[in-house]
Structure 1
Amino acid sequence: MAGFFSLLRRLYLSIYNWTVFFGWSQVLYHVLITLKESGHENVYNAAEKPLLFAQTAAVLEILHGLVGLVRSPVSATLPQIGSRLYLTWGILWSFPETRNHVLVTSLLISWSITEIIRYSFFGFKEAFGFAPSWLLWLRYSTFLLLYPTGISSEVGLIYIALPFIKASEKYCIRMPNKWNFSFDYFYAAIVVLGIYVPGSPHMYTYMLAQRKKALSKSKRE
């Protein structure tokens, strides 16, 4: 019975990883084609559907960690996925005024290359029991450049969205109301920006440690 569940787990995770890999491949394809043919102003509209699919599908990774399907700690997965969902739905989808900025292009290129490598890496491991050494190196090395460009784009887009958030008052809850509760999305966005200050170096340091551990293990094998 244990062997059956192990096989079922691998089958499910293989399908999941390769499906999301395809989604991010579509994002990168649409970004590059649109960038070449009509400029960065149209990148978001071209890539929106696969972006919303691929990024939202990452919610399942939190569940995978919670139920023990994968060994990745939820404490590391949650903030990374949470911040990307916030950018995807809470900024780009919610405030169209941000979509034609050049930072959208740098964001989607950084995200998509990172995720294409990551999901193919895990797809190989689940489907075949191993990942090629070159893919292992890419998995734990490309973030050295793509993480800073991605984070910078995220912070920049939140900052750019601030005046539109304030003017629209979207997602705000004003008193009086039956819950006796108020919420201002503008100040919430400022808090999110503040979290990036300690959060980004912490995540980068964590990934550097993971890189050292993974590459050292690969050399020993």
Structure 2
Amino acid sequence: MAGFLSFIRRLYFSAYNWAVCFGWCQVLYFALKTLRESGYEHVYDAVERPLQLAQTAAILEIIHGLLGLVRSPITATLPQIGSRLYLTWAILYSFPETRTHMLVSSLVISWSVTEIIRYSFFGMKEAFGFTPYWLLWLRYSTFLILYPTGISSEVGLIYIALPYIKGSEKYCIRMPNKWNFSFDNFYAAIVTLGIYVPGSPHMYQHMLGQRKKALSKSKRE
């Protein structure tokens, strides 16, 4: 029975990782094609649906962590996925004024290259039980450049959205109401920007530690 459950788990995670990897391949392909043919102003329109699907699918990773199906700590998974979902839905989807900025291109390319490598890494590991060293190296090295470019793009787009958030009051809840509760989306965005200040260096240091550990272990083996 345990062997059968292990097989089902591997089958599920193989399918999940390769499916999401394919989604991010679509995002990257459409982004680069549009950049070459039409310019950065049209990148979001080209990638909107596959971007939303691929990024939202990452919610399952939070569930995997909560259920103990993976070893990745939820404390590391939740902030990264949460921030990306925030950019995808609360900024780009909710405020069309941000979609034609050049930072959308750097955001989408940084995300997609990172995720193609990451999901193919785990897809190989689940499907075949191993990963080639070059893929391991990419998994733990490309973030050195792509994490700063991705984070800078995220922060920049939130900042660009601030006047539109304030002017529209979208998602704001004003008093009085039956819940006796108020929410200001503009100040929530300010708080989110503030979280990036300590959060980004902490996450970068965490990934540097993971890189050192993974590459050292691979060399020993």
RMSD between aligned alpha carbons?
0.3
Can you give the 5+ residue segments of structure 1 that lack an aligned partner in the other structure? none
2:23 is matched with 23
2:117 is matched with 117
Aligned amino acid, residue 57 of structure 2: A
- Cα deviation for residue 68 of structure 1 reads 1.4
- Cα deviation for residue 201 of structure 1 reads 0.2
Aligned amino acid, residue 190 of structure 2: I
Provide the C-alpha distance between the structure 1 equivalents of 2:62 and 2:179, rounded to a whole number of angstroms.
30
2:151 is matched with 151
- Cα deviation for residue 212 of structure 1 reads 0.2
Provide the C-alpha distance between the structure 2 equivalents of 1:68 and 1:127, rounded to a whole number of angstroms.
20
The alignment partner of 2:112 has SS state of helix
1:185 is matched with 185
Count of aligned positions: 221
1:81-120, aligned counterparts within 5 Å? 81-120=81-120
Q: Does 1:218 align with 2:218?
A: yes
1:46 is matched with 46
Q: Percent identity?
A: 81
Provide the C-alpha distance between the structure 1 equivalents of 2:63 and 2:131, rounded to a whole number of angstroms.
24
Please give the per-residue CA displacement for 1:13-49, whole angstroms capped at 9, x wherever unaligned.
Answer: 0000000000000000000000000000000000001
- Cα deviation for residue 76 of structure 1 reads 0.2
1:49-88, aligned counterparts within 5 Å? 49-88=49-88
- Cα deviation for residue 184 of structure 1 reads 0.2
Provide the C-alpha distance between the structure 1 equivalents of 2:49 and 2:129, rounded to a whole number of angstroms.
31
TM-score of the pair, normalised by structure 2: 1.00
- Cα deviation for residue 213 of structure 1 reads 0.2
- Cα deviation for residue 54 of structure 1 reads 0.2
- Cα deviation for residue 69 of structure 1 reads 1.2
2:127 is matched with 127
2:3 is matched with 3
- Cα deviation for residue 172 of structure 1 reads 0.1
The alignment partner of 2:66 has SS state of helix
Aligned amino acid, residue 21 of structure 2: F
Aligned amino acid, residue 10 of structure 2: R
Can you give the 5+ residue segments of structure 2 that lack an aligned partner in the other structure? none
Please give the per-residue CA displacement for 1:44-87, whole angstroms capped at 9, x wherever unaligned.
Answer: 00000100000000000001111111100000000000000000
